Structure 1
Amino acid sequence: MRLLFVLGIFILSFSVNAQSVNGVITDTNGKPLEEVLIHNLFSKTHAHSDSNGKFTIENSKPEDSLQITKQGFITENIKILTNDLLTISLEEKPFLLEEVKITNNLKYLNTISKIDLEIQPISNSQDLMRKVPGLFIGQHAGGGKAEQIFLRGFDCDHGTDISVSVDGMPVNMVSHGHGQGYADLHFVIPETVDNIDFDKGAYFADKGDFTTAGYIAFNTKKALKNSSVSFELGQFDTYRTVALFNLLNTENQSAYFAGEYMMTDGYFDAPQNFNRINLFGKYSAKINNGDQLAISVSHFKSQWDASGQIPDRAVNSGMISHFGAIDSNEGGNTSRSNINLQYDSKIDDYSQIKNTAYISKYDFELFSNFTFFLNDPVNGDQIRQRDNRTIVGFQSEYDRKIDDQWSFKIGAGLRNDNNKGLELSHTVNRKTVLEYLSLGDVNQTNLFSYASADFTTGKWLINTGLRLDYFKFGYEDQLAPTYSNQTQTKAIVSPKLNFLYTQDNTLQYFLKLGKGFHSNDARVVVAQKGQKILPETYGGDLGINWKPFPRMIINSALWYLYLAQEFVYVGDEAVVEPSGKTARKGFDFGLRYQFTNWLFWNTDYTYTHARSIDEPKGQDYLPLAPVHTLTSGLSVKNLKGFSGSLRTRFLGDRPANEDNSVVAKGYCITDFSVNYQIKKVSIGINIDNIFDTKWKETQFLTETRLANETEPVDEIHFTAGTPFNARLILKYSW
């Protein structure tokens, strides 16, 4: 009897201690707030609100006190009075860095991106990429072509080693007409971006193809706070207008439309005749059972002329200027139309399913001349690259929180690219085709599944994950004398293991380990009969997140990345070339500091040592791999109506060839912006390269021959970076 009594007391005690409290958090307009931190000051348990603003916090009962915090909102302390559903409303306030806490979150770099977006919003499409610390971009074909990307010692070309997505829809193009992983982000209107999720390395199971140096996931706004129209006028006949219309905004539904039009002749001697139109619409709804639906539709079209890369010797001799062109017939056109569906289904307070489905129609035509008259002394070496594809895909993920210690997620998905008329041809004057170098159809499918689990104990968070990717590559060669549809299949398994130790809300240590990969062009796959066509990477990050002072955040890491040998399809020449094993290691350092309520400073520095493993010392440099990068700037936010920034970016000298005998010169550029808000009207000025520095944005060591030359010359070719470029912006909001 006594035993039963003791057992009953134990069960009663356990049931009391095991109580949980449910609630929902919104802003003052009734919109749900996600990723709000709810902390029980008595039991020390915590929880985060989901996309519906709902949360469940364990080991909580009446009389306990909860602290509710979210960046950009006033912290609330409430006392639990009953076990009924809590309804909490948070009020927005000026941003204070001292209220940003280091939490037990493996993706803490997202906090850094939120800070940067808060103190310095995106002002153009190039800023989208530049929000990733240590990532540099370069434009070398007139503004309409996707930018060249540099990150962690990778010349990622246009996206080969960094995966990019928007609202769960992939941006990278597999087996692209110009280059593998081609990521053209120009279809995104910057003003519609709500947040940026990014990380470096291949440490997360839900990130797959192209996630070697890292990934960037952009998310667009669910709703607009207000409608606005802006007009931009700048040098070089530059015009841009953006309209955002709030069509519907209730507690459970929202809809808006955004449109952008831009045109410019550019700063080159040969006018770019660039124009771009973007249309975007999004509808979001919260269903009575707690599910959430979002549907977005977008269309993008762009065309341009380009000056391409020019040789040093032509500029030094006075043949052309720093902004001149050898072949002014370069350029192209491209378009992309997307339909994207996101549906998040809440099963119960502890589990949900996230679904994304999309379809894209994409067209691309690019005219380039990289070697001038090297191969064809009479007609020149102009080439045309074409891509015409339909992309369909989906991804579903089941998330489950078991208890305060365990949670897991399981996901699966598919992506299919059906590319008709993938072409590389030798042309004249953009019109006449002299020779088809490559012409065929690609059908490529990627099936994938993944699982990961989080285990929390004390100050430790341990994350483990496993990913399986299966590819089927198909290529039908239209130049073959008989029908030939070549196919190959390949699978790869990618394990992940991450450790996070949060000493307190001011100091955190992490160790991230993972295997990643990037797929190769289908034309490589069939040529190599499936051998060495999914080159894997192995990497690790060891670092800290630290708040030495209330208004300062420091994040730094030592890292290492190994890339296996592969074969690469050179889209500009229609040939397959071997690429050896490489190793990269380096150091990342970032600092965010708030001097006053309105003055901020942020800086990011990276050092990278990148080498080829199989080559002898001194012959093992990786061409164009960045060594030193630095970005730093001061930002003013809401100082009596004024906001603005002064920002500098530095890219150091780097090797242009394998023995470092030729160097790609670095640059240091400073940009300036200021904006003044008067009620519903704002007026601003953006200035690129405020000191009018003459610099080379992209550089390549290329063998070329000019029309008047009898022998080819191997030297640096470059695209000039923007000179002093001022733009006036007028915006009206309502």
Structure 2
Amino acid sequence: MQNNYFFALNSNRFRLLFIILLFSKLGFSHGINGIVIDQQSQGIPNAKVSLIGSVKYSMTNGLGEFVLTDVHLGDSISIESQGYQKRTFLIDNESYFEKNVLFQLFENATELSEVKVTGNRTTLTQSANINLTLQPVRSAQELLTLVPGMFVAQHAGGGKAEQLFLRGFDIDHGTDVALSLDGMPVNMVSHAHGQGYADFHFVMPEVVDKVNFEKGPYDVTKGNLATAGSVDFQTREQLTKSFVSGEYGMFQHKKITAGIKVLENQKNNAYFAADYLQTDNYFESPQDFKRINFYGKYTGIISPSFKITVSASTFQSSWNASGQIPQRAVESGMISRFGAIDNTEGGNTSRTNIQLGVIQKINASSSLKSDFFFSAYDFSLFSNFTFFLEDSVNGDQIHQYENRKIYGGKTEYKKTISLNENTIFSFTGGGGFRYDDINNIGLAQTTGRTQLRNQVQLGNINETNLFGYVSGKLEINRLVISAALRGDNVTFYYNNLNDSVYQPKSLSQAVFLPKVSLLYNATDHVQLYLKSGIGYHSNDARVMLSSDNLTKKALPLALGTDLGATWKLTKNLLFNGALWYLLSEQEFVYVGDAGVVEPSGRSQRLGFDAGLTFQPTKWLFLYSNLNYSHARSVAEPKGENFIPLAPVFTSDGKVQLNFKKGIFTTLSYRYMGDRAANEDRSVLAKGYFVNDFTVGYQRKSFVVTAIVNNVFNVNWNETQFLTESRLKDESQSVSEIHFTPGTPFSCRLQVKFMF
């Protein structure tokens, strides 16, 4: 009887406990109201959100919103979408049940089959990011070549900014392409060595996650110098693994790089990276090039709707250079291809950056993004282009230098409205500023880097750029219509310290830049687009504010139009092509030894770009890109209207294999056709065809890579200029091609450990 009593009592207790647990479970059952976003905090439509262990799932709408009911603490959900890595989230706290919780996905840029042709923007950047992911690049110079059709050339010891080529432009060091890193501009306006000077060496390729680019003046968020195009590199929010690598090669090449994960959890990520490079390079006069880089970044999810990033970087470099040498000196046997006329050329430079980024999700359909930056920059460069043309005794060496601080920021508001099931309207409005405080910008005549003979220029520049823009995008089924307007005001101030009296000058001009585009997703595999827009590049402050140039145009415009298509012929074969046209109000030719920009009138360029990307299997990747441009001055008579050094035919490509057992290899090529070196094409800058080769072996914790440049050891000229010069023993000057030789056959070995 007593046992029955205890049995009944225990049974009642078990029933009560079961009921309590059941109701407890039911009481903690919730619905998740979330938003699936990408790395730019934009909603991802048609993403599948599944409750693991259940058949229950939800699909995101055009804004990335979803609702998933009957979710409990301790459950897990998975989110997947084409083109993104599938992620699983453990629902381990009550914050997941708040309204509009953000779930971020990361792009899966490793397989061509995942690339989507349809969408509300062109997809050319996706294949470039596959390129970046499959085989990470190893230098800032290689990062720039990820943009299809962009060629780079180094001609002053490795530390000078590269010479850039894109869409029929010999861009010098950045006059017609705007480069940025996480929204911070790289280009320097009114620079000591040339307008738009873009020294990209402060960027470590190991921290770059993605590249976004636009050919032509169509991106409303990009202003000054974005005429031939614009490129924005985005850094990683976190390192996959900590690593350390060492590199050793010919010509005393030595490099060590490290990246350390400092903090990693669901809401906070931080890492630090550094590298040191030293090389004598392949010239007979050792270049003694040294560069050191540091970079650190913190990313914090302060709340489900508030994200902050803080980064800091610094770099310093110094080098000697052999400069551009005259063809006659090589042909006569006076020097070899890798010799020098003045081996005291070279320089040193440094840049320190601090960046702050804030993203606030206001509600399900709108967000606010702000970016601020500060840069401190120093530059010193010794060059000798003409040798003894001007001074037969001391030579023509010049020293260009400056000290600069840059302050800037931008805030952008985005709102997306779903008008109905098939119609979405997106609004973007933004504004910001950039202020360059340039002190002691100068040009001096020197000898052997040590003797100052004449102070040609010396002054202080303040340059302020205020800008604002609005854009609207309407998506109706397969049609996307965009219209945008940008306004820029640039104020120039110059105080010439060589003047006998204090008389600073200033000038302010404004431009308005309309941009429109039509994009039509003809099928799930074919995308057509038409773009048109106006961009500009500013003139140098010193040129604008000299006494004889006050009436010149400070902000020459460029009008561009693109008609293009992206076609996914098969699941693993992607074609892209575009016909394009660009009319420029004014060409800029920077004459470094005179410290002036020479306007050369209006010009027009037209051409086509074509590219094929093929990935038949996960381990085989093929890519080729072909570009043609027809560049001419408008005002000059036919036959005398060639634009010197404008590229005509260029092409680059690669074959890449990544085997399952960890072996990988790449054979790449780049081709630059012959081009006119002067206005009547009586002198040619000879083209080249060069191959590079990489082979390596990768395991879970280490990678060994051998890199071979110029596999077939061809003689090629990296940069070429038609220059009038005089050698020490010559009585008369000679005008002919001066060149910097391209790298001969060279190899280096890299060993990388990951932990």
Q: What's the TM-score, normalizing by structure 2?
A: 0.88
Shift of 1:57: 5.7
Question: Alignment partner for residue 452 of structure 2, among 420, 427, 433?
Answer: 433
Shift of 1:570: 3.0
Question: Alignment partner for residue 323 of structure 2, among 279, 300, 308?
Answer: 308
Structure 2 residue 65 is matched with structure 1 residue 56: yes
- After superposition, the C-alpha distances for 1:482-510 in whole angstroms (9 at most, x for unaligned) are 00110000000000001000022210100
Q: 2-side partners of 1:254 and 1:559: how far apart? A: 42
Shift of 1:287: 1.1
Structure 2 residue 440 is matched with structure 1 residue 417: no
Q: 2-side partners of 1:552 and 1:132: how far apart? A: 19
Asked whether the 8 Å contact 1:523–1:569 carries over to 2, the reply is no
Question: Alignment partner for residue 136 of structure 2, among 113, 121, 139?
Answer: 121
Structure 2 residue 189 is matched with structure 1 residue 174: yes
Shift of 1:25: 5.0
- After superposition, the C-alpha distances for 1:445-465 in whole angstroms (9 at most, x for unaligned) are 000000001011121101100
Task: Tell me the amino acid that sits aligned with residue 608 of structure 2.
Answer: F
Structure 2 residue 595 is matched with structure 1 residue 587: no
* Superposition RMSD in Å: 2.7
Q: 1-side partners of 2:104 and 2:200: how far apart? A: 36
- Residue 398 of structure 2 corresponds to 383
Q: How does 1:385-400 map to 2 (within 5 A)?
A: 385-400=400-415
Q: How does 1:721-732 map to 2 (within 5 A)?
A: 721-732=742-753
- Residue 79 of structure 1 corresponds to none
Q: 1:374 to 1:411 in 2, by over 3 A?
A: same
Question: Alignment partner for residue 543 of structure 1, among 534, 553, 564?
Answer: 564
Asked whether the 8 Å contact 1:524–1:533 carries over to 2, the reply is no
Asked whether the 8 Å contact 1:683–1:729 carries over to 2, the reply is yes
Q: How does 1:255-270 map to 2 (within 5 A)?
A: 255-270=270-285
Q: 1-side partners of 2:103 and 2:225: how far apart? A: 41
In the alignment of these two chains, the number of paired residues is 698
Query: Which stretch of structure 1 is more off in the superposition, 181-190 or 630-639?
Result: 630-639
- After superposition, the C-alpha distances for 1:690-716 in whole angstroms (9 at most, x for unaligned) are 111111000000000000000000000
Shift of 1:71: 2.6
Shift of 1:38: 2.3
Q: 2-side partners of 1:227 and 1:334: how far apart? A: 29
Structure 2 residue 361 is matched with structure 1 residue 350: no
Shift of 1:576: 4.7
Question: Alignment partner for residue 625 of structure 1, among 637, 643, 646?
Answer: 646
Query: Which stretch of structure 1 is more off in the superposition, 560-569 or 312-321?
Result: 560-569
Q: 1-side partners of 2:342 and 2:527: how far apart? A: 54
Q: 1-side partners of 2:258 and 2:42: how far apart? A: 27
- Residue 71 of structure 1 corresponds to 83
Shift of 1:437: 1.0
Question: Alignment partner for residue 677 of structure 1, among 698, 701, 704?
Answer: 698
Shift of 1:112: 2.3
Shift of 1:673: 0.8
Task: Tell me the amino acid that sits aligned with residue 576 of structure 2.
Answer: N
- Residue 46 of structure 2 corresponds to 38
Secondary structure of 2:522's match? strand
Shift of 1:86: 8.9
Q: How does 1:85-104 map to 2 (within 5 A)?
A: 95-104=110-119
Question: Alignment partner for residue 660 of structure 1, among 672, 676, 681?
Answer: 681
Asked whether the 8 Å contact 1:524–1:568 carries over to 2, the reply is no
Q: 2-side partners of 1:314 and 1:345: how far apart? A: 62
Question: Alignment partner for residue 581 of structure 2, among 560, 568, 574?
Answer: 560
Residue identity over aligned pairs, in percent, reads 46
Q: 2-side partners of 1:32 and 1:322: how far apart? A: 48
- Residue 596 of structure 1 corresponds to 617
Question: Alignment partner for residue 511 of structure 2, among 492, 500, 505?
Answer: 492
Question: Alignment partner for residue 216 of structure 2, among 201, 207, 213?
Answer: 201
Asked whether the 8 Å contact 1:561–1:585 carries over to 2, the reply is yes
Q: 2-side partners of 1:582 and 1:207: how far apart? A: 22
- Residue 692 of structure 1 corresponds to 713
Shift of 1:123: 1.8
Secondary structure of 1:287's match? strand
Query: Which stretch of structure 1 is more off in the superposition, 400-409 or 207-216?
Result: 400-409
Structure 2 residue 492 is matched with structure 1 residue 459: no
Q: 2-side partners of 1:348 and 1:388: how far apart? A: 44
- Residue 17 of structure 1 corresponds to none
Secondary structure of 1:110's match? helix
- After superposition, the C-alpha distances for 1:344-373 in whole angstroms (9 at most, x for unaligned) are 111111111110111100000000000000
- Residue 537 of structure 2 corresponds to 518
- After superposition, the C-alpha distances for 1:249-268 in whole angstroms (9 at most, x for unaligned) are 01000110000100000000
Q: How does 1:495-510 map to 2 (within 5 A)?
A: 495-510=514-529
Structure 2 residue 288 is matched with structure 1 residue 273: yes
Secondary structure of 1:112's match? helix
Shift of 1:205: 1.1
Asked whether the 8 Å contact 2:472–2:484 carries over to 1, the reply is yes
- After superposition, the C-alpha distances for 1:149-206 in whole angstroms (9 at most, x for unaligned) are 0000001000000000001110000000000000000001110001001010011211
Secondary structure of 1:430's match? coil
Secondary structure of 1:38's match? coil
Shift of 1:583: 0.4
Structure 2 residue 446 is matched with structure 1 residue 446: no
Q: 1-side partners of 2:301 and 2:104: how far apart? A: 18
- Residue 12 of structure 2 corresponds to none
Asked whether the 8 Å contact 1:278–1:299 carries over to 2, the reply is yes
Asked whether the 8 Å contact 1:532–1:566 carries over to 2, the reply is no
Shift of 1:320: 0.3
- Residue 317 of structure 1 corresponds to 332
Question: Alignment partner for residue 174 of structure 2, among 159, 178, 197?
Answer: 159
Structure 2 residue 374 is matched with structure 1 residue 362: no
- After superposition, the C-alpha distances for 1:108-154 in whole angstroms (9 at most, x for unaligned) are 22212222212232122211100000000110101000000000000
Q: How does 1:691-730 map to 2 (within 5 A)?
A: 691-730=712-751
- Residue 16 of structure 1 corresponds to none
- After superposition, the C-alpha distances for 1:38-88 in whole angstroms (9 at most, x for unaligned) are 2589xx996578xxxxx3269x999xxx99424363599xxxxx9997997
Secondary structure of 2:46's match? strand
Asked whether the 8 Å contact 1:102–1:504 carries over to 2, the reply is no
- After superposition, the C-alpha distances for 1:278-315 in whole angstroms (9 at most, x for unaligned) are 00111110012421100001110000000000000000
Asked whether the 8 Å contact 2:117–2:524 carries over to 1, the reply is yes
- Residue 23 of structure 1 corresponds to 34
Shift of 1:568: 5.6
Q: 1-side partners of 2:385 and 2:238: how far apart? A: 45
Task: Tell me the amino acid that sits aligned with residue 71 of structure 1.
Answer: G
Asked whether the 8 Å contact 2:37–2:43 carries over to 1, the reply is no
Task: Tell me the amino acid that sits aligned with residue 703 of structure 1.
Answer: E
Q: 2-side partners of 1:92 and 1:626: how far apart? A: 34
Secondary structure of 1:595's match? strand
Structure 2 residue 598 is matched with structure 1 residue 577: yes
Q: 1:310 to 1:400 in 2, by over 3 A?
A: same
Q: 2-side partners of 1:634 and 1:616: how far apart? A: 44
Task: Tell me the amino acid that sits aligned with residue 147 of structure 1.
Answer: E
Gaps of 5+ in 1: 1-19, 50-54, 77-81
Question: Alignment partner for residue 476 of structure 1, among 495, 499, 509?
Answer: 495
Q: How does 1:178-257 map to 2 (within 5 A)?
A: 178-257=193-272
Asked whether the 8 Å contact 1:223–1:255 carries over to 2, the reply is yes
Structure 2 residue 148 is matched with structure 1 residue 133: yes
Task: Tell me the amino acid that sits aligned with residue 441 of structure 2.
Answer: L
Shift of 1:536: 0.3
Q: 1:663 to 1:460 in 2, by over 3 A?
A: same
- After superposition, the C-alpha distances for 1:611-664 in whole angstroms (9 at most, x for unaligned) are 001100000001111100111111123531122311011000010000000000
Q: 1-side partners of 2:565 and 2:32: how far apart? A: 33
Asked whether the 8 Å contact 1:521–1:569 carries over to 2, the reply is no
Task: Tell me the amino acid that sits aligned with residue 229 of structure 1.
Answer: V
Structure 2 residue 169 is matched with structure 1 residue 149: no
Asked whether the 8 Å contact 1:456–1:462 carries over to 2, the reply is yes
Q: 1-side partners of 2:219 and 2:130: how far apart? A: 22
Asked whether the 8 Å contact 1:36–1:70 carries over to 2, the reply is no
- Residue 531 of structure 1 corresponds to 552
Structure 2 residue 665 is matched with structure 1 residue 644: yes
Runs of 4+ with deviation above 4 angstroms: 24-27, 31-37, 44-49, 82-94, 566-569
Task: Tell me the amino acid that sits aligned with residue 207 of structure 2.
Answer: T
Secondary structure of 1:222's match? coil
